[in-house]
Amino acid sequence: MSGAIVKRTPFFKILIANRGEIALRIMRTARRLGYGVVAVYSDADRDALHVREADQAVRIGEALPAQSYLKIDAIIEAAKASGAGAVHPGYGFLAENEDFARACRDAGLVFIGPSPEAILAMGNKAGAKEIMQKTGVPCVPGYQGADQSGAVMLAEAKAIGFPVMIKAVAGGGGRGMRLVADAAAFPDALRSARSEAQGAFGDPTVILERAIVDPRHIEIQVFGDRYGNAVHLGERDCSVQRRHQKLIEEAPSPAVTPELRARMGAVAVQAVKAIGYEGAGTLEFLLDRAGNFYFMEMNTRLQVEHPVTEAITGLDLVELQLRVARGEPLGLRQEDITFSGHAIEVRLCSEDAGHDFMPQSGTMARWQMPEGIRVEHALQSGSEIPPFYDSMIAKVISHGATRDEARGRLICALEQVTAFGVATNQGFLIDCLRHPVFAKGEATTAFIGNNRDALLAPQPDRGSDLALAALLLYVTHPHAPPWQRGRSLSATFPLGLRIDLGHGVHEIEIVRERDGCYRATCNGDRFSFEIDELDQDSIRFHHDGLMEQAKFLRDGDRLHILHRGVTLRVRDLTLAPPESAAAAGGDGKVRAAMNGRVVAVLVKAGDKVAAGQPVMTLEAMKMEHVHTAGVAGTVSSIDVAEGEQVTTGKIVVAIEAAA
């Protein structure tokens, strides 16, 4: 950029138009560079950590994103009221909304991201494909026309050939995306994708693409400045996904050679230079087994997985964003970019992997993250996880000299994560990292689908786990004899317990002997424990000649245990009445499976339904979940309306079983 006139745009305070871990991540770099920071919050986030950590915070609306984090006018007013001179959108919400970028510019605020024109050109999947096709970049065959009628979309899908992908033109993160196997399933999938896209991004427009079978998902990180300079920072492999949402990302990709990296990087840089792109961006490609790559879309924002690029390049991507937004030249040439080692990131989500990754909300009673490794999060013990936003609650990032070292460090770190109170995918992530296919670097986008049974197989209720649960229920009971080290004057009477570890009810008998040991009997097997230390939240004990330790939290008749890297959720059913068929919907009542918002009621009173037939769609944490009839019969009542917010367990549809 020699000879170019530097056009600086000074600002001193930044409003972060986002929430959670990304808001805290941006604050960290902004403060290091000397900027003041302003948070915004919805009613659901009033007590959130990002609000308390900011210099100032401004309420922008009610809990639902459409009433708060997607309200452009409210955010602009918040920036003006706080005296902020710049706005960082983070990712998600309005990060790729050209109207928001334009509104910031019109209000005299610096938008820390690309121009509205660049967002419109490349942030829209349909527009981006047209630009790339004109420059000769291979794209996935598809339809991105203006006619969005159901009949035209179905005809185009048939012309492309099934299976096809439906994709929202706006936003990302897997929202508004559906893989459709045949024409019969297309209308429902189209409606669902549009509804989800409207709720997440405020735009129901979709495109169609031919589904490439078992590809790698490879993305190239790019940066440009206002002086025509642009570089790429290598690739990330984001192939491990569920519901088209990334779960594990790594850099570099095990499948990308230096030659392929150079080719893909050159294409990406050429694209951003062609449109005068400014700031951080990511071009996403599908890489097939033959080494052919196809452009999918461009994300005109910072990515969730940016830490793995930071780890191998030594660069702070948020700092680069802020410097470029101030009008400084990028200050990097392509030859300046070097890569060191290997980095892997996992997304820790509040979801139940064993029940189709159902989002979970509630109170995180105990939250402790591992030390010695990078963790991005915005929680603490007692934090509320609301049902209105994305289910990702933390990112854990490892860096090592080799891929195996990074993978091993990440597994060890995940085994130390203490997350009690709300179910997470902690164990599922560990199983993915340990799986031979991932360990060999061979995972494609089909990895979870192809290995679903192995990855999601219920863990057997091992006798030792049941015995440990019984021990902890026994010694932490409010009326239990106080524990003390060593021998006892007398043995206690055997106590019978009924315990559920999530896969059935077990009868266990436990007793403390005169020698001070506790003995548990389960299914004819006997287990002996000698307690060395017992605190309010941890226990150290001898079992089978080994000294072990576990963390735990007792909450009434529920017990949370972290033992050998596995989180166990235990229910004490000793005094509970037997459960009925109602829990499975066998009583004809369809109950909300999570806190969420009703987006579609698919039946009406008097309709005949079959067992398993969809009756209602609930949206939680930006994803839609179809609820089905538990029995065949006639719909007798519908107890909710579209748009209504419901709580877990609420009866939404009642069905009178067929005779």
Q: How many whole angstroms separate alpha carbon 602 and alpha carbon 611?
A: 14
CATH of domain 463-572: 3.30.700.30
pLDDT confidence of 41, banded at 50, 70, 90?
A: very high
Q: How many whole angstroms separate alpha carbon 597 and alpha carbon 599?
A: 6
The DSSP output letter for 119 is: I
pLDDT confidence of 1, banded at 50, 70, 90?
A: very low
CB 399 within 8 A of CB 311: yes
Kindly report, residue by residue over 214-239, the tens digit of the pLDDT: 899 999 999 999 999 999 999 999 99
Which one of 3-7, 400-404, 475-479 scores highest in mean pLDDT?
A: 400-404
CB 323 within 8 A of CB 229: no
Q: Which residues of the chain are in CATH 3.40.50.20 domains? A: 13-112
**Token representation of residue 260:** 């392929």
Q: Which residues of the chain are in CATH 3.30.470.20 domains? A: 216-456
User: How much is the pLDDT for 451?
Assistant: 96
User: How much is the pLDDT for 575?
Assistant: 85
Minimum mean pLDDT range among 129-143, 203-217, 345-359: 129-143
pLDDT confidence of 491, banded at 50, 70, 90?
A: low
Q: Is the peptide bond before 10 cis (omega within 30 degrees of 0)?
A: no
CB 343 within 8 A of CB 308: yes
DSSP track, 494-563: PEEEEEE-SS-EEEEEEEE-TTS-EEEEETTEEEEEEEEEE-SSEEEEEETTEEEEEEEEEETTEEEEEE
Contacts for 484 with CB less than 8 Å, ≥ 6 apart: none
pLDDT confidence of 4, banded at 50, 70, 90?
A: low
What SS3 state is found at 611? coil
pLDDT confidence of 461, banded at 50, 70, 90?
A: low
Q: Which residues of the chain are in CATH 3.30.700.30 domains? A: 463-572
The catalytic residues are 301
Residue 248 has pLDDT above 80, yes or no: yes
User: How much is the pLDDT for 356?
Assistant: 86
Residue 164 pairs with which residues in a beta bridge?
180, 210
- CA geometry: angle at 544 spanning 539 and 547, to 5°? 40
User: How much is the pLDDT for 582?
Assistant: 47
User: How much is the pLDDT for 393?
Assistant: 97
Instruction: Give the domain 13-112 fold.
Output: Rossmann fold (3.40.50)
Q: How many whole angstroms separate alpha carbon 638 and alpha carbon 641?
A: 8
Residue 633 has pLDDT above 70, yes or no: yes
Which percentage of the chain shows pLDDT scores above 90? Answer: 70
CB 508 within 8 A of CB 470: yes
Compute the average pLDDT of residues 615-636: 86
User: How much is the pLDDT for 488?
Assistant: 62
CB 243 within 8 A of CB 175: no
Q: How many whole angstroms separate alpha carbon 352 and alpha carbon 341?
A: 33
Contacts for 313 with CB less than 8 Å, ≥ 6 apart: 233, 234, 337, 338, 339, 340
User: How much is the pLDDT for 579?
Assistant: 57
Closest of 235, 247, 241, 258 to residue 312, by C-alpha: 235
User: How much is the pLDDT for 581?
Assistant: 43
Kindly report, residue by residue over 71-124, the tens digit of the pLDDT: 999 999 999 999 999 999 999 999 999 999 999 999 999 999 999 999 998 877
**Mean pLDDT of all residues in the chain?**
91
Minimum mean pLDDT range among 15-19, 200-204, 287-291: 200-204
User: How much is the pLDDT for 447?
Assistant: 97
Q: How many whole angstroms separate alpha carbon 239 and alpha carbon 449?
A: 12
Minimum mean pLDDT range among 302-316, 406-420, 484-498, 535-549: 484-498
User: How much is the pLDDT for 493?
Assistant: 78
**Per-residue b/e over 236-245, b at no fewer than 16 CB within 10 Å?**
bbbbbbbbbb
**Token representation of residue 613:** 């037939």
What number of other Cβ atoms are within 10 A of residue 495's Cβ?
Answer: 17
Q: Which residues of the chain are in CATH 2.40.50.100 domains? A: 589-657
First to last CA, the chain: 80
DSSP track, 438-481: HHTT---TTHHHHTHHHHHPPPP--HHHHHHHHHHHHHTSTTSP
pLDDT confidence of 446, banded at 50, 70, 90?
A: very high
CB 559 within 8 A of CB 552: yes
Residue 560 has pLDDT above 50, yes or no: yes
Instruction: Give the domain 141-210 fold.
Output: Dna Ligase; domain 1 (3.30.1490)
User: How much is the pLDDT for 626?
Assistant: 87
User: How much is the pLDDT for 2?
Assistant: 46
**Token representation of residue 309:** 């690029």
More confident residue, 647 or 534: 534
648 phi/psi in degrees, rounded to 5: -55, 130
- The CATH classification of domain 589-657, taken from the options 1.10.15.40, 2.40.50.100, 3.40.50.2000, 2.60.40.420: 2.40.50.100
CATH of domain 216-456: 3.30.470.20
The DSSP output letter for 352 is: E
Residue 568 pairs with which residues in a beta bridge?
561
Closest of 221, 219, 195, 218 to residue 206, by C-alpha: 195
Residue 176 has pLDDT above 60, yes or no: yes
**Token representation of residue 436:** 């031979």
